[in-house]
């Protein structure tokens, strides 16, 4: 490997500069003579050595048996030595090795000692024509089979260690200097969210619709599908949509609503969510207009008061999107996986049956299914399991339901989510083939 002297910050003095004060005025490393162990010039001799007349010598370093054999062949004057040797791959030196190679305090008066830990013998070849130093590995014909086996085992161990390092990666290290990431207590925040999602006051009953005399599951699905289109039309934040559906379900769980007021509850829930999440909140007249003037301003304000009082001003509830952002960070996802995860999560909002799963499980299953779609195989790392608190077996059932929802998303009448993600803005994520192999493995 060619060593460019410009990559090193260490400088040495020129050959004609000696004595006191030399360390203050050094030139950049240009001469390869200082690496071949040449003796210092005699006093008074200002004649420069020609690079083409340099004698090739092996640098001063620990001798191995194979290196001794190389030196013996070289000293014996074997003319065919250069033809018999086979060059291996270039030895890549780390920062510590580079530092040892150029850390010469005495200029030309002392040659550096280069220590390279390697099972094979290595030496330094000086190319005087190009003034470069190439560190190569000489692979000898008499290399034993035991050494080859040892190197293969060592390589396999290194690969396993790399996989373990990827699984144990600290996902918050990249945001250590970002105060908005609150890495010092982000784990406590998500521990609080997990505690809240199992709290009786926050948990949404999976069969609350049975207590509603005038509405059913189908009406709820139509309303949520329409709210997703309104959310996309107003270009609101993702958090607003998930909080809107959460407010809607929690309110319907506590209050009996007539069919004619169901749409009013939905758009008012979105208005409250916008006031909680958005910076620029759509005005009430915008919601009235988008509902085709079905309700008046007074009706919207009256429903807003009723929702706020019923929920006791509690809008800091965990939604699937809260956990989705954390789990996507854990898998270090690309944009395609992020779009697919949000796509599956929004499909779960429309389906009433997904209320039986916790928000964190829905988010974990969405990320897991998205990875399976992109990679084509089951993928759930130890890092994902650690941050989600779910194993692969725990989320397989929920992931299978998401695959079914994905399969029928483009058919039927409720296609709001499909049309939203079948656009260039979301990289046409809705057209991605579902992970059907999860259905076979989960059955």
**Tens digits of residue pLDDT in 347-373:** 999 999 999 999 999 999 999 999 999
Which residue has better confidence, 138 or 389? Answer: 389
Query: What is the mean predicted confidence (pLDDT) over 39-52?
Result: 48
- Least-confidence region, from 138-152, 176-190, 230-244, 310-324: 138-152
Let me know whether 47 and 74 are in one domain: yes
Let me know whether 118 and 47 are in one domain: yes
- Least-confidence region, from 23-32, 103-112, 416-425, 433-442: 103-112
Locate 398 and state its tokens.
């929920």
CATH number, domain with residue 386: 1.10.472.10
H or E stretch covering 357:
none
Let me know whether 346 and 299 are in one domain: no
> 383 lies in a domain?
yes
The answer, yes or no, to whether residue 104 has pLDDT greater than 60, is: no
Let me know whether 15 and 125 are in one domain: yes
> 224 lies in a domain?
yes
Provide the edge-to-edge strand list for the sheet that holds 132-139.
86-90, 132-139, 122-127
Cβ-in-10-Å burial (0-12, 13-18, 19+) of 433 comes to: exposed
Let me know whether 242 and 269 are in one domain: yes
Query: What is the mean predicted confidence (pLDDT) over 29-54?
Result: 46
> 188 lies in a domain?
no
- Percent residues over pLDDT 90 in the chain: 47
Let me know whether 360 and 254 are in one domain: no
> CA-CA distance, 363 to 369, in Å (whole number)?
10
Structural domains in the chain (count): 3
pLDDT of residue 290: 93
pLDDT of residue 72: 66
Alpha carbon dihedral 135, 136, 142, 145, in 10-degree steps, equals: 100
The answer, yes or no, to whether residue 5 has pLDDT greater than 60, is: no
Per the CB < 8 A criterion, the answer to whether 300 and 267 are in contact is: yes
> 132 lies in a domain?
yes
Tens digits of residue pLDDT in 205-257:
889 999 999 999 999 999 999 999 999 999 999 999 999 999 999 999 999 99
Q: Provide the mean pLDDT of the chain.
A: 75
> 178 lies in a domain?
no
Locate 212 and state its tokens.
């509603």
Query: What is the band of 22 on the pLDDT scale with cuts at 50, 70, 90?
Result: very low
Per the CB < 8 A criterion, the answer to whether 197 and 359 are in contact is: yes
pLDDT of residue 289: 94
Let me know whether 358 and 404 are in one domain: yes
> 385 lies in a domain?
yes
Alpha carbon dihedral 394, 398, 400, 406, in 10-degree steps, equals: -150
Report residue 147: phi and psi, to 5°: -65, -40
Per the CB < 8 A criterion, the answer to whether 5 and 30 are in contact is: yes
> 179 lies in a domain?
no
Domain stop point among 99, 123, 143: 143
Tens digits of residue pLDDT in 246-302:
999 999 999 999 999 999 999 999 999 999 999 999 999 999 999 999 999 999 999
pTM: 0.63
pLDDT of residue 107: 41
Name, in order, each residue with C-beta under 8 angstroms of 215's C-beta and a sequence gap of 6 or more. 209, 252, 257, 259, 262
Domain stop point among 310, 331, 347: 310
Tens digits of residue pLDDT in 385-443:
998 999 999 999 999 999 999 999 998 899 999 999 999 999 999 999 999 999 875 44
The answer, yes or no, to whether residue 195 has pLDDT greater than 50, is: yes
Let me know whether 137 and 218 are in one domain: no
Locate 76 and state its tokens.
């014996």
Ranked by mean pLDDT, which of 85-99, 104-118, 150-164, 356-370 comes out on top?
356-370
Half-sphere exposure of 420 toward its Cβ, with a 13 Å CA cutoff? 24
> 172 lies in a domain?
no
Let me know whether 352 and 428 are in one domain: yes
pLDDT of residue 177: 85
Let me know whether 411 and 328 are in one domain: yes
Domain stop point among 125, 143, 161: 143
Let me know whether 137 and 103 are in one domain: yes
Query: What is the mean predicted confidence (pLDDT) over 158-176?
Result: 61
The answer, yes or no, to whether residue 198 has pLDDT greater than 70, is: yes
| Domain limits for position 133 | 5-143
Per the CB < 8 A criterion, the answer to whether 267 and 289 are in contact is: no
Ranked by mean pLDDT, which of 23-27, 29-33, 102-106, 279-283 comes out on top?
279-283
The answer, yes or no, to whether residue 129 has pLDDT greater than 80, is: no
> CA-CA distance, 391 to 381, in Å (whole number)?
9
* Cα angle 361, 222, 267; round to 5: 90
Let me know whether 116 and 230 are in one domain: no
Per the CB < 8 A criterion, the answer to whether 10 and 102 are in contact is: yes
pLDDT of residue 64: 64
Which residue has better confidence, 376 or 247? Answer: 247
């Amino acid at each position: 490997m060619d060593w460019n002297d410009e990559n090193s910050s260490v400088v040495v003095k020129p050959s004609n500069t000696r004595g006191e004060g030399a360390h203050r005025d050094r030139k950049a490393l240009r001469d390869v003579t200082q690496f071949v162990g040449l003796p210092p010039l005699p006093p008074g001799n200002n004649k420069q050595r020609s690079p083409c007349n340099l004698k090739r010598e092996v640098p001063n370093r620990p001798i191995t048996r194979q290196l001794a054999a190389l030196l013996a062949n070289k000293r014996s004057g074997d003319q065919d030595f250069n033809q018999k040797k086979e060059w291996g791959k270039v030895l890549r030196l780390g920062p510590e090795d580079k530092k040892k190679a150029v850390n010469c305090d005495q200029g030309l008066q002392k040659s550096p000692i280069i220590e390279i830990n390697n099972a094979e013998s290595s030496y330094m070849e000086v190319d005087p024509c190009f003034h470069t130093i190439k560190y190569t590995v000489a692979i000898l014909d008499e290399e034993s089979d035991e050494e080859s086996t040892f190197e293969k085992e060592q390589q396999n161990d290194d690969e396993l260690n790399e996989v373990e390092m990827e699984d144990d990666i600290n996902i918050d290290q990249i945001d250590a200097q970002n105060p908005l990431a609150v890495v010092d207590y982000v784990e406590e925040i998500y521990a609080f969210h997990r505690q809240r999602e199992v709290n009786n006051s926050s948990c949404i009953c999976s069969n609350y619709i049975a207590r509603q005399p005038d509405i059913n599951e189908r009406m709820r699905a139509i309303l949520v599908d329409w709210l997703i289109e309104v959310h996309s039309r107003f270009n609101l934040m993702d958090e607003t949509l998930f909080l809107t559906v959460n407010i809607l379900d929690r309110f319907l769980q506590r209050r009996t609503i007539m069919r004619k007021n169901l749409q009013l509850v939905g758009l008012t829930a979105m208005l409250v969510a916008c006031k909680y999440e958005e910076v620029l909140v759509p005005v009430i007249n915008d919601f009235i207009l988008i509902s085709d003037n079905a309700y008046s301003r007074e009706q919207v304000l009256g429903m807003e008061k009723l929702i706020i009082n019923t929920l006791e001003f509690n809008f800091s509830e965990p939604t699937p999107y809260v956990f989705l952002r954390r789990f996507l960070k854990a898998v270090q996802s690309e944009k395609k996986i992020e779009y697919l995860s949000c796509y599956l999560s929004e499909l779960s909002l429309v389906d009433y049956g997904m209320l039986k799963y916790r928000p964190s499980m829905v988010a974990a299953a969405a990320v897991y299914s998205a990875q399976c779609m992109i990679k084509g195989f089951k993928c759930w790392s130890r890092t994902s399991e650690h941050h989600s608190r779910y194993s692969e077996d725990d989320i397989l059932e929920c992931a299978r339901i998401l695959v079914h929802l994905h399969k029928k998303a483009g058919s039927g009448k409720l296609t709001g989510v499909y049309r939203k993600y079948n656009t260039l803005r979301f990289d046409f994520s809705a057209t991605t083939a579902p992970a059907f192999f999860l259905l076979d493995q989960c059955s």
